[in-house]
């Protein structure tokens, strides 16, 4: 008959899908078994391969199951049987295997002609009552045999041994649980059908995998128990041991469930060779019959906690078990939580007990019926013998026994007690049934003795008592629950075992940050939006005027525009050109070598789009310090705004609007501050302004949508490029000028005493500038008191100003007067016409003992101590900090908070090779544009400005 292909495809595929779902891939919630496992257990029981019998070749049960019940290949049957025998796969193995049944390393089992198997003792709890009409049977695939639709399981095997399978359009993945805990929870639900999930979770805290491990946290467990779906993170059990002097090792004794141990070791080795995990010297497998032991030997300088964290992150030492509790309930696939599974099992088990009681009742009544006939025959033995002797044959004797009424006065009570419907007592007389007549004819003469007669009466009384118990079970739900409790207790005693998987609350809420090695990092951001972090110790200090080293690999004409150092555990806030704020921990930033380009910010910060990061702010590591902190925003157009840091405490992953910007404007800096400090703004055209942070001068803005107020009035073509926060010092203009003169004299004297006479080049210079903004007239003999000088000296801050030509100088913050907000500011640096460079790159505060890094547009970097930079007047042009090429410019300057010794000779690099010699005006070629020709020969490149 003609059929459309659409209809045929729909019908055929639906039939195939239902076959896979019901008959192959999904377990039944009642016995927790798939059809293939059920058929293996039933087939081995039918063949007599039970726990009390010798082992038999695995090929025998596989052949029996394939020939009688399972219409698939032998490999699928053997693989299923092997898995039921593996203690690392099943929480309670159901097959007792002998021979090579594979290993946790993923080794294949030996062929079924080599291995032997029999049912495990635990399998009896699935099969013992199967002959007592406890479950329904169905024809096998060729209708030559029958097979059970489900096994009468005594305990909830679906939870104990779990299951995994892929059907059509659906899948199941159920973890294993501790058998004792599962039975305890079942008992609790039998006692109280309305028991809560919280109560059950006190009995079953979570899965219990046969391979052990540590479950991290309880959130995923509760979600899985509630809804049937959830993700449970599982971590290997690893300890850090000292294997010999100065050598430590990570020893793994338990791994997550279903992880291949050999593949795990190969992955660790591959990551070590690829340098993705540093610090591993060797890995070896010391596992034996006593247990698992993977030894990961570390290098001497490795931090064990950091290596272990990397192993958790990049290997299967930590995995997530995705729970999907999908099983067949009434022949239909259903996702069930813990309560649903237990309720379905209890309902099924009660039905098994009821059907078994009815079966036993029928059998017991049949036995009682025969015993009644025997009692009647013994009571009337002379008449019975005479009747039998007079009969010509057995058939006639049977008919005469059935046709005659016999005295039943003595057994009337017993007939009523066993509810014998075959014998009806009338006037003390009863007729025998055919079964009773046959039993009398089969009666042996020895049963006629007095002792045997008493045994018949005793057995009849026992049968009557048993019938009463069975009737009580059939008629009472409470009694059936009592029977279920008894059987659950018996099963628990047989299969109980200690918990193997630990559930850790601490690890569940613990951040990987605690396992990240603390230390200072140099964070670098390029113009094209690439970011990386590099350990600070890689960069060592050099004398000023050195050649530096390569700081970053460039991609095309990309250049570094932002650099700073921060602790690995600090928060870093990122501010985009579009006015959005993002937040990330330093240790989460990609780590790379000095020559690597890093990772694109667009891949690190979501929803960044076409915006670029224009400001980066490391926040204090101690979050309790955030309460009194404010943020000051500065824009290129000279705008400023003050907000509370708490306004930015909760930043979404997609970012937060930080500041409303006018078209064409951008953020150039954001800094933390306290009330009463000073804001310092510097421009690229060498102008600067300093004003105090007060509510009258710069109030706190309530929201984040404002564009702020004017901080400095800019000349055409100028823009702000530096924002600093300085401590406010109460000192008059005259006091500042006197202090600068006295401090200059003190520094010159200290330098002469330290270096001896004739070292004019080393003499620091300072002073106060008189320009259009200052009106100061001082007496040359006017001095401060010693107490006031010491007070101002203790509060003095030093600013470093660097030009794009590689020149710079230090200046006292007292050299920058405090004025009102919104003015044109004062001069910050004077450029000599013969020098290359016309712009100030940065002005920043520095501390004694600090180093600074200068980065050029060609990717070169130099690190030098600030003590080598002279303290000069704020209008001075400075000294050479970084000798750069003709077409090279300094693009970024940032401080390094490190006062430790890196252990290297200052004239050798990290590998021990000699660096370029430090160039001076007397030994090196003159700079371009004849700059050295205008300076004093034999002295440094000092320009007063």
User: Cβ contacts of residue 335 below 8 Å, gap of 6+?
Assistant: 227, 228, 229, 324, 325, 326
Q: What is the dihedral of CA 611, 617, 622, 628, to 10 degrees?
A: -100
Task: Tell me the residue ranges of DSSP E strands in 83-198.
Answer: 95-98, 116-119, 137-139, 146-148, 163-166, 171-174
Q: Are 426 and 418 in contact (CB under 8 A)?
A: no
- Select from 292, 293, 316, 341 the least CA-distant residue to 87: 292
* Separation CA 438–CA 454 (nearest Å): 21
d(CA 271, CA 517): 19
- Would you say the C-alpha torsion 500, 506, 511, 516 has a positive or negative sign? negative
CA 23, distance to chain mean position in Å, is 36
Four-point Cα dihedral 127, 133, 137, 143, nearest 10: 100
How many Å apart are CA 598 and CA 698, to the nearest integer? 38
Do 295 and 284 form a contact (C-beta atoms < 8 A)? yes
Q: Residue 732 and residue 883: Cα distance in Å, rounded?
A: 39
How far is the first Cα of the chain from the last one, in angstroms, to the nearest whole number? 104
Catalytic residue among 13, 42, 55, 114: 114
The bridge status of strand 851-856 relative to strand 890-896 is antiparallel
Question: CA nearest 760: which of 770, 769, 748, 772?
Answer: 748
Strands, sheet with 530-535, edge to edge from the N-terminal-most edge strand: 560-567, 520-526, 530-535, 599-600
- Please state, as a whole number, how many other Cβ atoms lie within 10 Å of the Cβ of residue 363: 14
Question: 798 forms bridges with which residues in the sheet?
Answer: 812, 846
Distance CA 625, CA 652 (A): 21
* Residue-by-residue DSSP string for 362-401: HHHHHHHHHHHHHHHHHHTHHHHHHHHHH-SSHHHHHHHH
228 in Cβ contact with 337 (< 8 Å): yes
Token readout for 569 is: 């555990």
Active site residue 114: yes
**CB-CB contact of 642 with 631 (8 Å):** yes
Nearest Cα to 660, choosing from 703, 692, 610, 706?
706
Exposed, middle or buried: residue 903 (CB in 10 Å: 0-12, 13-18, 19+)? exposed
Burial class of 509 by CB neighbour count within 10 A (0 to 12, 13 to 18, 19+): exposed
In this structure, are residues 722 and 842 in contact, taking their beta carbons and an 8 Å threshold? yes
Handedness of CA 440, 443, 445, 448 (dihedral sign): negative
Rounded to 5 degrees, what are φ and ψ at 571? -80, 145
How is residue 661 written in tokens? 């910007």
Task: Write out the catalytic residue numbers.
Answer: 114
């Amino acid at each position: 008959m003609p059929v459309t292909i659409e209809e045929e495809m729909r019908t055929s595929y639906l039939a195939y899908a239902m076959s896979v779902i019901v008959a192959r891939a999904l377990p039944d919630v009642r016995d927790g078994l798939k059809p293939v496992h059920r058929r293996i257990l039933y087939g081995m029981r039918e063949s007599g391969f039970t726990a009390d019998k010798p082992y038999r070749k695995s090929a025998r049960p596989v052949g029996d199951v394939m020939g009688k019940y399972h219409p698939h290949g032998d490999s699928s049957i053997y693989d299923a049987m092997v898995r039921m025998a593996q203690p690392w796969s099943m929480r309670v193995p159901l097959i007792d295997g002998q021979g090579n049944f594979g290993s946790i390393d993923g080794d294949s089992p030996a062929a079924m002609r080599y291995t032997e198997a029999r049912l495990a003792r635990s399998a009896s709890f699935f099969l013992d009552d199967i002959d007592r009409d406890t479950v329904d049977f169905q024809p096998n695939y060729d209708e030559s045999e029958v097979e059970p639709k489900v096994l009468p399981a005594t305990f909830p095997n679906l939870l104990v041994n779990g299951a995994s399978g892929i059907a059509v359009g659906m899948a199941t993945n159920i973890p294993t649980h501790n058998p004792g805990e599962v039975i305890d929870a079942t008992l609790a639900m039998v006692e109280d059908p309305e028991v809560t999930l919280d109560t059950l979770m006190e009995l079953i805290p979570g899965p219990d995998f046969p391979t052990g491990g540590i479950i991290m946290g309880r959130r995923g467990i509760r979600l899985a128990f509630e809804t049937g779906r959830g993700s449970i993170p599982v971590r290997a059990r690893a300890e850090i041991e000292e294997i010999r002097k100065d050598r430590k090792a990570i020893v793994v004794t338990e791994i997550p469930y279903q992880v291949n141990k050999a593949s795990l070791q190969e992955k660790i080795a591959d990551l070590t060779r690829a340098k993705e995990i540093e610090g591993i010297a060797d890995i070896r497998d010391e596992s034996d019959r006593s247990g698992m032991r993977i030894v990961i030997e570390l290098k001497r300088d490795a931090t064990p906690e950091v290596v272990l964290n990397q192993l958790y992150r990049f290997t299967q030492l930590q995995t997530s078990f995705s729970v999907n509790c999908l099983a067949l309930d009434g022949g239909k696939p259903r996702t069930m939580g813990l309560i649903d599974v237990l309720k379905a099992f209890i309902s099924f088990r009660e039905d098994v007990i009821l059907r078994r009681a009815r079966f036993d009742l029928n059998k017991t009544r049949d036995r009682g019926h025969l015993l009644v006939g025997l009692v009647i025959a013994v009571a009337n033995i002379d008449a019975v013998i005479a009747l039998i002797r007079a009969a010509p044959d057995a058939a006639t004797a049977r008919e005469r026994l059935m046709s005659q009424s016999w005295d039943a006065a003595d057994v009337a009570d017993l007939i009523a007690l066993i509810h014998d419907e075959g014998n009806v007592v009338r006037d003390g007389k009863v007729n025998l049934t055919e079964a009773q007549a046959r039993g009398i004819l089969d009666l042996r003469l020895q049963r006629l003795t007095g002792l045997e007669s008493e045994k018949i009466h005793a057995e009849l009384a026992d049968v009557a008592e048993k019938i009463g118990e069975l009737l009580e079970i059939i008629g009472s739900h409470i009694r059936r629950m009592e029977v279920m409790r008894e059987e659950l207790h018996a099963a628990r005693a047989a299969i109980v075992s200690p918990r193997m998987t630990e559930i850790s609350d601490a690890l569940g809420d613990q951040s990987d940050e605690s396992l990240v090695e603390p230390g200072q990092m140099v964070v670098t951001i390029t113009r094209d939006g690439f970011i990386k972090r590099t350990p600070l110790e890689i960069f060592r200090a050099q004398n000023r005027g050195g050649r530096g080293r390569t700081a970053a690999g460039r991609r095309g004409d990309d250049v570094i525009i932002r650099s700073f150092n921060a602790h690995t555990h600090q928060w870093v806030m990122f501010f985009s050109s579009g006015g959005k704020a993002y937040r990330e921990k330093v240790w989460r930033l990609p780590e790379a070598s000095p020559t690597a380009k890093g990772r694109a910010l667009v891949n690190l910060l979501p929803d960044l789009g076409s915006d670029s990061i224009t400001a980066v702010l490391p926040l204090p590591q101690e979050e309790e310090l955030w309460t009194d902190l404010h943020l000051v925003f500065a824009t290129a157009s000279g705008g400023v705004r003050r907000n509370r840091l708490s306004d930015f405490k909760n930043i979404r992953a997609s970012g937060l609007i930080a500041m409303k910007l006018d078209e064409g404007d951008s953020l150039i800096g954001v800094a933390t501050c306290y009330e009463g400090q000073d804001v310092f703004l510097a421009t690229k055209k060498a102008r600067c302004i300093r004003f105090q942070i007060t509510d009258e001068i710069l109030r706190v803005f309530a929201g984040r949508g404002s564009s702020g107020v004017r901080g400095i009035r800019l000349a055409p073509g100028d823009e702000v490029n530096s924002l600093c926060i300085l401590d406010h010092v109460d000192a008059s203009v005259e006091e500042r000028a006197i202090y600068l003169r006295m401090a200059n004299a003190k520094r010159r004297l200290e330098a002469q005493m330290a270096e001896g006479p004739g070292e004019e080049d080393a003499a620091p210079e300072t002073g106060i500038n008189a320009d259009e903004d200052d009106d100061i007239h001082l007496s040359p003999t006017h001095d401060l008191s010693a107490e006031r000088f010491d007070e101002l000296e203790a509060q003095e801050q030093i600013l470093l100003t660097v030009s794009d030509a590689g020149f710079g100088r230090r200046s006292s913050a007292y050299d920058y007067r405090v004025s009102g907000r919104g003015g044109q500011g004062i001069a910050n640096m004077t450029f000599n016409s013969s020098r290359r460079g016309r712009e100030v790159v940065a002005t920043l505060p520095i501390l004694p003992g600090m180093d600074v890094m200068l980065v050029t547009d060609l990717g070169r970097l130099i690190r030098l101590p600030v003590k080598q930079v002279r303290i000069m007047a704020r209008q001075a042009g400075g000294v050479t900090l970084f000798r750069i090429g003709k077409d090279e410019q300094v693009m970024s300057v940032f401080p390094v908070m490190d006062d430790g010794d890196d252990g290297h000779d200052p004239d050798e690099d990290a590998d021990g090779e000699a660096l370029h010699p430090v160039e001076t005006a007397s030994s090196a070629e003159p700079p371009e544009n004849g700059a050295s020709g205008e300076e004093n020969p034999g002295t440094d490149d000092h320009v007063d400005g």
